Structures are given as structure tokens and as C-alpha cells.
Amino acid sequence: MPCVRPCQIPGSSRVAAAATGPEPGAAYNLRHESNCELALSAPGIVVAGLRKRYGTVLALDGMSFSVRPGQVTGFVGPNGAGKSTTMRVILGLDAVEEGTALIGGLPYRGLRHPLHHVGSLLDAAAPHPGRSGRNHLLWLAHSQGLDVRRVDRVIEQAGLAPAARRKAGGYSLGMRQRLGIAAALLGDPPVVLLDEPFNGMDPDGIVWMRGLLRSLASEGRAVLVSSHLMGEMQHTADHLVVAGRGRAIADASVAELIAAASRGNGATLEDVYLRLTREAVEFRTGTSTEDRK
């Protein structure tokens, strides 16, 4: 559906304007255009035209996509593609030179009670080592004005009950991830943003995490999850945003990506992902794989 009024998001059409040839992903018809409609109404996330440099490194170069309520959106891409930077920008932790990142139509800093709107896990929690996981969550609830009655609920949700009363200094990486997830859910937020939550999870933990993400989406939350595990995302996500060199090079449902893969002589989803990310390098450098042979 076309936008009902001109989109006010700066840079939202910049990617296409800057392109000198077909964009990566064009062959698969996997780029979705206007974020405008969603930005104006939905409680999800809309990222539009983000551009950011760290010194000489162009970390974000027109990153644009949206995360819809009721879906798990997987955010995949090679190292250095700009996934974590995008997440930090969404959470107001990093500034950009251009573009906007909106949660329910507002920038993070414009949210009155941010933890009620968005829960996030960027790094595994680093609680006071002498404090139990449960006391860490109680402290967080008190200090952030959140409902302390939710502490035991999120401990259950995060599968942390067996370790909740133990000192967090003895937690494994997987347990710290669970504690971070419990903290992210404490405010009962409609938007959840998790950077590499599968890190440090054992096989049971991975299955559990998949179920948790699916259930958060089924409750109507907008869930953005970064990962390097394409296979895992295939089973967990409804939608995938593939990042490459600071921009979204594909933005499509998992079903669309799988359909694109099956058109390509038995290519797998992983093959499509690798091809897209290589195309992104060629697009930016103006070389092709053939040129470099």
C-alpha cells in the first residue's frame, strides 16, 4: 500500500538514489521498499537510512528495514556488517550522521518509560558477582521503577529458576545470557531486541531459545534477533534482514528466501545468504568475482 503522505524519515530513499547499478538482492526481488506506513502507526521498529562512521570506517551506509509486531525478525550478516551498531543506534547508545531509528514511531530517547517499550540484550549480563541473579533482577526492578512482582515470572520465562538464588559470579555464559533475557523482559515490553542470544547456549538451550522467541512473537511482540546461525534463523525467524557492508541487502520473509533458494538449482538458504553477502562486497567495490580471478 502506498504511503498516505510524504515520508518524513530522512534518508529513506537514499540507498536507491546512491546505487550505480542493480542493488545486491535485486535479482531475488527481496528488498521491501517503504517503511513509512509502519513508522507512522505500528509499535514495531523502523530503521531508515542510517549512516554512521567510526573514523575512516563506514559502519552503516543506508541501513533500512522494519521489524513487525508478532514476528521474529532475524538480523544476519557477516562480521562487521553493522548489526550491533544498528542495534545500539536503535537503543540510543550511538548517534548517527543520517537516518532515523524509531520504536513505535518514537526515537528511544523520546520514550517516556523505555523499559516498558523495549527490552534488550546486547551483551551477556554482567551482574555484581556476589549478588544472586534474582537479587540482580530485584535491584533492577526497584531502580528502574518496574513491577517487582514480575521478577519471578521472568526468572521462569528465562529458564533461570534452578540458578536464580546462586551468586551470579559463578554463572556460565549461557546462564548470564538467560539472566540478560530475564532483565530484558522485566518491563513486559512489546519490542524485544537481542544481539546474538544463541551465544553460549548448549543444544538444549538453543531449542529453548527458539521456543522463547517464538512465544514472544506469538504474544504479539516485535522481536529482532541477530545471529550468525542461518540454520537456526531458518527455524526460528519469520522474516530475515541480511546485512552487508552497513546496509540491508535483503529484507524478506524466510519463505521468500527459501523460495529464492529453491529456484537456484538446488541452492540452499545458506547458499543464497553467501551469494548475497558476496554481492554486497562486489557492489561496494565495483568488482565482480570474475574480475578478481
Ligand X SMILES: Nc1ncnc2c1ncn2[C@@H]1O[C@H](COP(=O)(O)OP(=O)(O)OP(=O)(O)O)[C@@H](O)[C@H]1O
Q: What residue ranges bind ligand X (CB under 6 A)?
A: 54, 57, 59, 77, 79-85
Host H or E run for residue 65: strand 57-67
Cβ nearer to ligand X, comparing 15 with 76: 76
Query: Which of 54, 147 has the CB closer to ligand X?
Result: 54
Nearest approach in angstroms of CB 215 to ligand X is 26
Rounded Cα–Cα distance for residues 174 and 16 (Å): 41
Query: Can you tell me the distance from the alpha carbon of 232 to that of 216, in angstroms, rounded to the nearest whole number?
Result: 17
Q: Which alpha helices (H) appear in 8-110, and where do they start and end?
A: 14-18, 36-41, 83-90
Q: Give the other-Cβ count within 10 Å of 26's Cβ.
A: 15
> Residue 168 Cβ, how far from ligand X at the closest point, in Å?
24
Min. distance of Cβ 54 from ligand X in angstroms?
3
Task: Give least dist CB 176 to ligand X, A.
Answer: 18
Closest separation between CB of residue 184 and ligand X, Å? 18
How many Å apart are CA 9 and CA 85, to the nearest integer?
A: 19
For cell 522494519, name the residue.
66
Of the two residues 80 and 105, which places its CB atom closer to ligand X in the complex? 80
Give whichever of 57 and 148 is closer to ligand X, judged by the CB atom.
Answer: 57
Single out the residue of 213, 259, 253, 251 nearest to residue 232, CA to CA: 213
Q: Are 109 and 19 in contact (CB under 8 A)?
A: no
User: How does strand 222-226 pair with strand 71-76?
Assistant: parallel
Closer to ligand X by Cβ: residue 81 or 250: 81
Residue nearer to ligand X on the CB measure, 141 or 240: 240
SS3 54: strand
Which cell is 278 given?
Answer: 558476496
Instruction: Measure the CA–CA gap between 266 and 254, rounded to whole angstroms.
Output: 16
Closest distance to ligand X from the beta carbon of 227 (Å): 9
Compute the least distance from the CB of residue 47 to ligand X, in Å. Answer: 13
Look up residue 228 and give its DSSP letter. S
Whichever of 145 and 231 has its CB closer to ligand X, that residue is 231
Residue 155 vs 193, nearer CB to ligand X: 193
To ligand X, the closest distance from the beta carbon of 170 in angstroms equals: 27
Distance of CA 148 to the CA centre of its chain: 27
Helix (H) / strand (E) element for 218: namely: helix 203-218
